[in-house]
Every structure is written in C-alpha cells, then in structure tokens.
Amino acid sequence: MKKHLIGLLCVMTLGLFACKDDPIQKEEEDLYKNVPSSKVPDQLADGSWFSGTLSAISYWDRDGHNLGNDYEAGREYLFYNQDGKGRIKFWQYLGMRTYSSCVTEIYTRMEGSVVFEGDKFTFYPVKGSFKTIKDKCSSGNGVSERKAEGDDLLPDVYRWEIRRVDGEDLFYTFSEDDVNHEDALFVYRFTQ
C-alpha cells in the first residue's frame, strides 16, 4: 500500500508541474504578440533557402596546409507557418582570411514573423544574436557576442519571386525599390 501511495504522489507531483505555464513558451508567445504576420506562400514554406559564395583565392600555410578561402559567405532563410501565422528564421555567415592566417568569422541569427503582400515580404525580427570570432589577428583575438536589440530588430522589406532556371526553382530577392525585379540582391536554392 505504501508503494502505491508513493507512486500516486509522484504522478500527482508530475501532473502539477506539467500544468504550470512553461516560461520559455510564454516568452516566445509574448515576443510575437504584437507583431504582424501572414501565411507563408506554399512555394516557400517548409524548407530552407540557401545562398552561398566562395572566393577563388585560397591561402596555404608554410607546410602546405590549406587555410581556407579569403572570403566565404552563406545566407539561409527558413520560412514556415505556425498556427496559421508566417514565421521566418535567418542565418548568415561571413568568413574572411588573410595571407597572415588571420581569420574573422561573423555569425548572424535572427527570428521573427513575416508578412507577404504580392511580390513583397516584410521580415519582422523579434530576437537574434551576432557573434564574431577572430583568430591569429593582430587587431585582437577571441569571441564577442551580443544580443539583437534596438535598430537590429527593425523590419526589413524585400521584393521576391520564384524563377525556374534549368529545371530548378530559385528564390530571388530584390530591394524594395526594385519593382521590376531587375537587380537581384541574392538568389537562393531550396534545400530540405
């Protein structure tokens, strides 16, 4: 009987904790509370869109080991719908290397809601971070990181379209002023 009472008390205790509000979930809901959103178009939803570049210049150390390219960049969008509301996650990586083996890497991560209106979308960031890593640089080494705040969280507006090129759908982004979609800012490939 004693074992059953202890078991029952354990189950009741777990039930009490399960009924409490999850502070992390509550914080997430509060971040999105007053931010506009719309449904993400089907052709963009549920997958990542990646754009990246590598420089043709590569650096090597004295022992013949490849130190990497002098310039690397990658950007990625993940569009999805949550409870009928458009959400977006954005990542960006910039990497620079010099002949003296100095490496600087900059990571950007932003999350928020998104509103689609015709060929225009507005990204409303609600949170994010920036991280810089320097190694073997004369101007200082180490890691610095900061949370996105203030102007970092202002909305960004882009024009967009999907173009089919060589049998592949590509996601083109343009500045808000480029109403004729003539000068793409970035071209993204769909990835799973």
Tens of pLDDT, residue by residue over 128-148, are 999 998 888 877 788 999 999
Check: CB of residue 110 under 8 Å from CB of residue 148: yes
Element (H, E) at 73: strand 71-82
pLDDT tens, 158-169? 999 999 999 999
pLDDT tens, 14-30? 444 444 556 656 666 68
pLDDT (0 to 100) of residue 144? 92
- Report the predicted TM-score, pTM, of the whole model to 2 decimal places: 0.76
pLDDT (0 to 100) of residue 23? 62
Retrieve residue 28's tokens: 């997430």
Burial of residue 149, with CB atoms counted within 10 A of its CB: 0-12 exposed, 13-18 middle, 19 or more buried? exposed
